[in-house]
Structure 1
Amino acid sequence: MHSARQQTKMNFHPPTEVDRTAILRILNLTSDKLEYAEAELEEWLSEQAHLPHQIDKRVFTAFALFSGKGIEECKKRMDAYFTMRAVFPALFNDRDPTSPIIKESGECVATGMCNGYTPEFSRLYVAKLIKTEPKHFDCNALLRRLLFILDLTLVLDRRTDICLIADCSGLSVKHFLKVSISQARDFMLCVQTVYPIRIRKIIFLNVKPYCKTLLENMILPLLRKKIASRTQIFSDNIDNLEKVVPLHLLPSDMGGTGPGSKEVSDFWMNQLEDNVEWFLTQGSLQANESQRNGTSTLKAPGCNVM
């Protein structure tokens, strides 16, 4: 029924001034407070010998948006943001989004950020298998690509929360056997406690009974308690999906009326390629632990930033 409705074309629309004002209000910030936090972060960074100094100004903004919780948390997250790239080489080495392995991942799994905001000013990030044969699935390449997209949208967007939605159609036990739990754990550590984002909810769609068991035993234990409590699992019946996510944002092949998941994925693959120089420079900056004065805020494995 949903696929018969008029679908929108995939694009990225940066927040308008009205959006920016609303987001600041949600975060209990003002433009002046945000600018002050950006300046304080920049001054603090200049005093940290172990951290890179010539960084994208938009990165300051992304972290300063967390200053409603206190500037010290912003500093810890920014420190961890550059530290994690050295701590987790399997996820952050070779940051070339045009590499063959990343392109092959794009042909196997559709993933990316959807058009628009939810009423709570969340962004939707979706994932869905294109090629269902397990031989095509590369867990490491997918996790690296997700981090590419998260880094890029971090500097292009201004948002408060994100919602992660995975369509489990075509997933088999063999797919789960190809998942590296250690890399998945490291990935979730970065997303949950390092990046300046808040995960509002995680939704799994079209989950078969065996898939539900595997999710509950392999993936959910990697989530922080608060995020796990916000996780929802839907079987084949998604009639109540519109109660938890706006269908006009969700891809048409995932129960919504937005651009299809492959169109979303192709759009962000093109964006990654267009920004390859950013990833090879800004996106590859990392901490130099030999220059650190004090203890790292990020201790792997299984730690939190705080």
Structure 2
Amino acid sequence: MSFAESRVADYVEHLGVVSLLRKDLETFATMLAEVPHGSGKIERTVLYIDDLDRCPPRVVVQVLEAIHLLLALPVFVVVVGVDSRWLKKAVEQHYEEMLGDEPESFAESYLEKIFQVPFTLSPMDDPGFVGLVRGLADTEAPDTTPATAPAGPDRATGDRPPLAAVASSPRTEVPKPSSEQSTIDVRPPRLVISQAELDFLPTLAPLIRSPRAAKRLLNLYRLLRARFAGEELAGFLADGDREAPFRAVLVLLAIHVGHPEAVAWFANLDGTGPDDSALEIVSSLNDHELRPKLERGLSGEGWPLLAASSQRWLPLVNRFSFARDD
């Protein structure tokens, strides 16, 4: 026993990271368990893990091993937000040489031993998109009283009234900066989304498939819109008819963000005459998911109909996209 105890320190130096981590976690769990009740005792430690589906397979498996280690101790709870398809592929690739003829069943079994409660979030629907973009954009909106609209289904979403019909909460007046404070306006008028733009945004809901895409759409639009000022901005926002410039820009950006693979349609749009109908150009699009969405939008009362309305802004909008030709 004396000899064994004398060698412990030498062995500890060669323990792996997982072994050392487990030892520390066990010590931590013991410390929490010894805290008396009624003294702010911590009953659970919840660890949130995000963006695991952006890591290479080796890192994914290492994190899964660490999660499995944590779950061996009842004081820890782990919540992982991830694309399950990425997890399965990462496990299959990492253990490729060991899987044999059933890689998918192995990955399923591997994940079931770690995750006790899998739960799939519902996709963003049209009302969800409307609520999200309103929350992101209306914080910058001017203090105006929305126009009253009759209750009924919204043309864009099918089950929600237009944005103009939703009463906005009164804004708190921002105090004027003192002489010692910065006088830089962090929310200049060029970034403030107008009511006309807010009313048009719901028509783009079918094109946007995730909250991340909705936020990207609004950020890109603000960035593009900030190029204009004065009379140029007023002309960009002129809402006399459905060919208003801001409408064409929003539609093009929404397609780029929601369906970046639709480069062929942009090429067709750029190569047609200015008086051609955008609806006719869409009919030649070989995309069974995007084409019905574009046809529905162009058949409504809001989207620009003439090819010229979009052709004018196509070069500029292309600069805000990952998928673009020369």
TM-score class normalised by the smaller sequence: under 0.3
Q: Which has the higher strand share?
A: 1
Q: Considering only CA atoms, is the larger Rg found in Structure 1 or Structure 2?
A: 2
Task: Tell me the TM-score normalized by structure 1.
Answer: 0.23
Task: Tell me the TM-score normalized by structure 2.
Answer: 0.22
